[in-house]
Amino acid sequence: MRTTYLVGNWKMHYAPADTRTFLARFLSRIGTVTAGREIVFCPPALSLESALEAVKSTPVSVGAQNVHHKESGAYTGEISAPMLQSMGVKYGIVGHSERRQYFGESDVLVNQKAVALLNCDITPIICVGETLEQREAGEAQVIVRQQVEAAVAGMDITRLIIAYEPVWAIGTGKTATPADAQEVHDVIRDTLRSLGDSQRVPILYGGSVKPENIDSLMAQPDIDGALVGGASLEVESFLRICQYN
Ligand code: PEP
């Protein structure tokens, strides 16, 4: 049995005061739905401390949206995995398509960042996914397979989470159909199998997940949770996603 993950990626939203307000409201409503479901909020780095304070003594966890691959040094503006570990951060997103697109992050760098997190006992959530052009050219499965192989090279893959996020579905309102998502998740599962995993790695879907589509996505056999951007910014929407049927 794989754990189910509902991960909110807040991107560049919510300073510390907004983080405290949001989480107080969310936590007062979440009740016991968390049994067997791991709920994770990934606020901006500036709000990590407020989020960690707010979720203390609750089953909800906190993750980072990014990390630098070196432990320390002259890297102005960056945050290292040991720093995140010292705060109590349990997860870290790496390879998000926005980082690949706007900050030029390569598969090699994604791999280095994931290794840096694992070295600090932080679980990497490694994002992969094809662009619209690649999908239309029939290359989605090949691209995703390559991204997974490159991202996990040389590491203990049983300690990872993979998130399949088709780039064309992120923040666009266009969701992959549950069947399309399942097809790629199956390819990822097959890739992981060939790298030595026996069904243990959770594979999340991300890309315009909302209350209206979470139930049908979660009904797919290889979808083990969701990485949620826009809909995780509203308490009611994210509650409903966490309470999927
Ligand atoms: C994301 O940022 O990872 C994401 C999936 O965004 P959205 O849910 O807004 O498409």
Which residue has the least CA distance to atom 2 on ligand 1? 229
The response to whether residue 228 sits with its C-beta less than 6 Å from ligand 1 reads yes
Determine the pLDDT at residue 175. Answer: 84
Which ligand 1 atom sits nearest the alpha carbon of residue 165?
5
Tokens representing 8 are 């909110």
Question: Residue type for 5, please?
Answer: Y
Question: Is 196 part of any known ligand binding site?
Answer: no
Q: Specify the fold of 4-242.
A: TIM Barrel (3.20.20)
Tokens 């479901």 correspond to 37
Question: Is 171 part of any known ligand binding site?
Answer: yes
Determine the pLDDT at residue 197. Answer: 78
Determine the pLDDT at residue 31. Answer: 81
Residue 34 has pLDDT above 80, yes or no: no
Rounded to two decimals, the ipTM of the complex is 0.97
What is the torsional sign of CA 130, 136, 141, 143? Answer: negative
Q: What is the mean pLDDT of the chain?
A: 95
Tokens representing 15 are 């300073």
Question: Is 88 part of any known ligand binding site?
Answer: no
How far is the centre of ligand 1, averaged over its atoms, from the C-alpha of 102 (Å)? Answer: 15
Tens digit of pLDDT for each residue in 44-67?
A: 999 999 999 999 999 999 999 999
Share above pLDDT 90 across residues of the chain, in percent, rounded to a whole number: 92
Backbone region of residue 16 per phi and psi (left: phi > 0; alpha: psi in -120 to 50; beta: other values)? alpha
Determine the pLDDT at residue 244. Answer: 95
Cα gap 128→163, rounded to integer Å: 6
Tokens representing 75 are 């890297």
Cα gap 75→131, rounded to integer Å: 30
- Angle 124-89-237 (CA atoms, 0-180°, nearest 5)? 80
183 is catalytic: no
The response to whether residue 229 sits with its C-beta less than 6 Å from ligand 1 reads yes
How far is the centre of ligand 1, averaged over its atoms, from the C-alpha of 52 (Å)? Answer: 22
Provide mean pLDDT across the span 79-95: 98
User: What residues does each domain of the chain span?
Assistant: 4-242
Provide mean pLDDT across the span 3-7: 97
Determine the pLDDT at residue 143. Answer: 97
How far is the centre of ligand 1, averaged over its atoms, from the C-alpha of 17 (Å)? Answer: 23
First CA to last CA across the chain, in angstroms?
17
User: How many whole angstroms from its chain centre is CA 90?
Assistant: 12
**CB of 7 closer than 8 Å to CB of 228:** yes
96 is catalytic: yes
Burial class (CB in 10 A: 0-12, 13-18, 19+), 198: exposed
Residue 150's CB is within 10 A of a number of other CB atoms, namely 15
